[in-house]
Amino acid sequence: MERRPEPELMDSEAQTAAYAAADFNESNSLFTRLFAESFPDCAGSGAMIDLGCGPGDIALRMARAYPGWRITGLDAGENMLRRARERFRSEGEALDVTFKHGYLPDDSLEEAAWDALISNSLLHHLPDPLVLWHSIRRLARPGAAVLVMDLCRPAGMAEAQALVDHYAADEPPVLRDDFYNSLLAAYTLDEVRDQLEKSGLAALSAGMCSDRHWFVKGRITD
Ligand SMILES: C[S@@+](CC[C@H](N)C(=O)[O-])C[C@H]1O[C@@H](n2cnc3c(N)ncnc32)[C@H](O)[C@@H]1O
């Protein structure tokens, strides 16, 4: 099935409210587990950036798992960031997390300054996917840990609908529509491998980590 892009930013009141209230425990804990398994040596301290952090659930989980790290969540949506900051005010005061407004590519971010770069469910929003991979290359310190995860576009619309019915049966319509549109906008694993090749990141490993998600992980070696 051909990719059907969706609007890049996800920032209406209705969308951000539904997204922030949704239960992403399964996919977000998959993300943090993958990070822990892939980088068992990340126990100490460092600077981590979450690109397209949305309402901040993964940043919060990472801050709890890696208390020595300084974590920055970056997002282009002001409403999303407001929800992330509210969440941290109520749940995460003692954690070292900052939320920053920024639209990738963002030249104001310091180059080669980050020891870990993470991103979940951002790539499928980007009209030019190389923006994410070039940003990672520019921002990563040599040896930085990278973990990116996103949805994988299914073979057809019926398969996309079946995934929505299976995983979001009880969710509100706005979230079901977002999930369906995101599946249609998602990049396939082959497309992602091609993007890595074009960005000089072919040394990172890529694969599937669920029936609907792919991952890219590894360390930036140069
Ligand atoms: C589907 S949400 C994912 C949020 C979060 N990472 C998560 O896993 O729940 C995608 C986020 O990427 C943000 N976004 C889209 N394009 C962006 C860009 N060019 N730069 C920064 N953020 C962007 C959107 O505002 C939205 O909050």
Residue 92 has pLDDT above 80, yes or no: no
Partners of 206 in the β-ladder? 216
- CA of 77 from ligand 1 middle (Å) equals 7
In this prediction, residue 22 carries a pLDDT of 87
Mutate to test the pocket of ligand 1, among 58, 104, 125 (most ligand atoms within 8 A of CB): 125
Question: Which atom in ligand 1 lies closest to the alpha carbon of residue 103?
Answer: 20
Using a 10 angstrom Cβ sphere, with 0-12 exposed, 13-18 middle and 19 or more buried, the burial of residue 169 is: exposed
- Is the pTM higher than 0.95? The answer reads yes
Question: Which atom in ligand 1 lies closest to the alpha carbon of residue 119?
Answer: 6
Query: Rounded mean pLDDT of 38-49?
Result: 94
Residue 10 has pLDDT above 80, yes or no: no
In this prediction, residue 215 carries a pLDDT of 98
In this prediction, residue 46 carries a pLDDT of 97
Q: Virtual CA dihedral for 61, 126, 186, 28, nearest 10 degrees?
A: 0
List pLDDT tens digits, range 138-196: 999 999 999 999 999 999 999 999 999 999 999 999 899 999 999 999 999 999 999 99
Output the average pLDDT for the chain. Answer: 95
CATH superfamily of 13-219: Vaccinia Virus protein VP39 (3.40.50.150)
Would you list the domain boundaries of the chain?
13-219
pLDDT bucket at 29, cuts 50 / 70 / 90 = very high
| Percentage of the chain modeled with pLDDT above 70 | 100
Tokens coding 206: 């890529």
Using a 10 angstrom Cβ sphere, with 0-12 exposed, 13-18 middle and 19 or more buried, the burial of residue 75 is: buried
Nearest CA to ligand 1 atom 14: 52
Question: Which atom in ligand 1 lies closest to the alpha carbon of residue 77?
Answer: 25
| C-alpha 201, offset from chain centre | 17
Nearest CA to ligand 1 atom 15: 9
List pLDDT tens digits, range 97-131: 999 999 999 999 999 999 999 999 999 999 999 99
- CA of 127 from ligand 1 middle (Å) equals 13
Spell out which residues line ligand 1, taking CB within 6 angstroms. 8-11, 24, 52-54, 57-58, 75-77, 80, 103-104, 120-122, 125-126
Mutate to test the pocket of ligand 1, among 122, 150, 213, 215 (most ligand atoms within 8 A of CB): 122
In this prediction, residue 14 carries a pLDDT of 83
In this prediction, residue 8 carries a pLDDT of 87
Strand 140-151 and strand 213-219: pairing?
Answer: antiparallel
